Every structure is written in C-alpha cells, then in structure tokens.
Amino acid sequence: MKKIFLAAVTALALCSYSYAQDDEDEYEEEEAPARVVKEAPTPAPSNWDEDEDEAPVAKKADKKKAAKKSASESGNGFFGIGLDLTGMLARSNAINLTFRLNDAMMLSAIFGFQHYGETTVSAGGQDQDLGDDATVLSVGAAFDYIVVQKFIPFSIGGEFIYTSLPDGAGPDAVANMAATESNSQIDFGVMAGLHGEIVPNLVLTGKAGLEFSYMFGEVTGGNADYGKFDFGLKYRVYLTWFAF
C-alpha cells in the first residue's frame, strides 16, 4: 500500500513538472521580443549621379556665357564712337558719341571741329598775313528710334546741330555789301535711316530726310543783323564702332 502511494505521488509530481515546463515554454515564446530585421544601408550616390545633378547648373551657366558672348558680338554694345563720313567729305569733321539706351533707341552727341590756318603772302621780300584764319565748331544731338528690327534695322529720328562760323562767312548777299561777324548756323533735320552691321560691333548707318537751316549774324560796323532760312533734302553717312 505504501509503495502504491509513493508511486502515485511520484507520478503526480512528474506530471505537474511537465505541465509547468510547457507553460514556461509558451510564456517565453509569447514574451520574446520580435527580431529586428536590419535594413541594408542605402548606398551613397555615385559620382555619376552627382554629375547628373550638376549638369543642369552647368548647362545654365554655359547658356548665360553664350548669351553674353553673342550680345557682345552682335553689335549690341552700349557705347559707340562714330565718324560722319559726309562731313569729312565736306571738310567739316565731326564725331558722334552714341549711347544705345535699349534695343530700339539710340542717343548721340555730335561734336565737330575744323580750324583753317592763316594765309601768308610773300612779295618783295616781305610777308603779309591776310588774317583769314578761322575755326568752325559744331555741337549737337541726334536721336534714332528703331522701327523695324528684322533684316536691316530701319529707324526714324531727328538731329539738332549748332555751328559757330568764322567771320566773313555770312550769306553771299550780305558779304557783298559788308563784312560779317558772330556768324552762326542752326540745323534741324528729320531723317529715316538704315543700320547695317559690317562686322560685329561695327555699324554703317545711312540717313536721308528733310533738313532746315537758319544762318544769322551781325554786319561789321553797320549796327545791323541778318538772318537766312533754308531747307531741303539732306543725307548723312555714319560709321560707328561700339567699343563696349
């Protein structure tokens, strides 16, 4: 009887131990934290990707440089120095300082200068000066508005020039009566022009239109003034180099 009781107690103990072990295994499985799956690190961008990112910036810079270069080589300079070729033929030398205000407007300052030396006559071993030296000075301004930009630019505009003439250079009708002094002339013209670029920044301009001239001065010793008004068709030819 005692052996049977011990066997029963031993069997109960083993069953309870097995049951407790199973509970602990289940508890450990439930409480065990989930495994953290590490993600592979994102590879750093290669040089090829960096080049692709920098490519648009480089392209924009290249486009800006190309635009600046084309602007400097296409006659779009701001300041230009020009010669009045028709004035040179008429022995009235003048230069123009031209400012390009924008793509459609140009403003020019006009300066003319010519000095005529004194004539000396030698006779009988003696020299005599005739006192005919003279200086012609001109100042003025011109404005051009580009109406048509395609092909050869076409403009309309005007010019105003004041010229200080030497003594004795009055009208023939007055000069035949008396000597003149303080002679001056004012020219005002309305002209249309064509502007052709010969080479980059070198522009040849031809103008034609209607010009009005007023000459005035004084009669020497006669306490009298004179004035003369003329008008007619005129033309101008300018060669302008846009320095910058």
Domain boundaries of the chain, sorted by first residue? 75-117+129-242
Q: What is the DSSP string of 84-153?
A: EHHHHHTT--EEEEEEE-SSSEEEEEEEEEEEEPPPEEEETTEEEE----EEEEEEEEEEEEEEE-SSS-
**Chain mean pLDDT for the chain:** 77
Q: What is the pLDDT of residue 134?
A: 84
Q: Contact at 8 Å (CB) between 180 and 186?
A: no
Q: How much is the average pLDDT of 38-54?
A: 52
Tokens (6 digits) for 78: 């701001």
Q: For 92-130, what is each residue's pLDDT tens digit?
A: 678 899 999 998 999 999 998 888 888 889 888 888 887
Of residues 190 and 52, the one with the higher pLDDT is 190
- Calpha distance 58→51 (Å, rounded): 10
Of residues 123 and 160, the one with the higher pLDDT is 160
pLDDT-derived band of residue 140, with 50, 70 and 90 as boundaries?
very high
Q: What is the pLDDT of residue 223?
A: 79
Whether residue 20 is predicted with pLDDT greater than 60 in this model: the reply is no
Percent of the chain whose pLDDT exceeds 70: 66
Highest CATH level, class, for 75-117+129-242: mainly beta
- Calpha distance 83→205 (Å, rounded): 10
pLDDT-derived band of residue 57, with 50, 70 and 90 as boundaries?
low
Whether residue 157 is predicted with pLDDT greater than 70 in this model: the reply is yes
Pairing state of beta strands 79-84 and 154-164? Answer: unpaired
Whether the full predicted model's pTM is greater than 0.85, yes or no, is: no
Maximum separation of any 2 CA atoms in the chain, in Å:
185
Q: Contact at 8 Å (CB) between 162 and 202?
A: no
Q: For 219-238, what is each residue's pLDDT tens digit?
A: 887 678 999 999 999 998 99
Tokens (6 digits) for 196: 């052709």
Whether residue 16 is predicted with pLDDT greater than 60 in this model: the reply is no
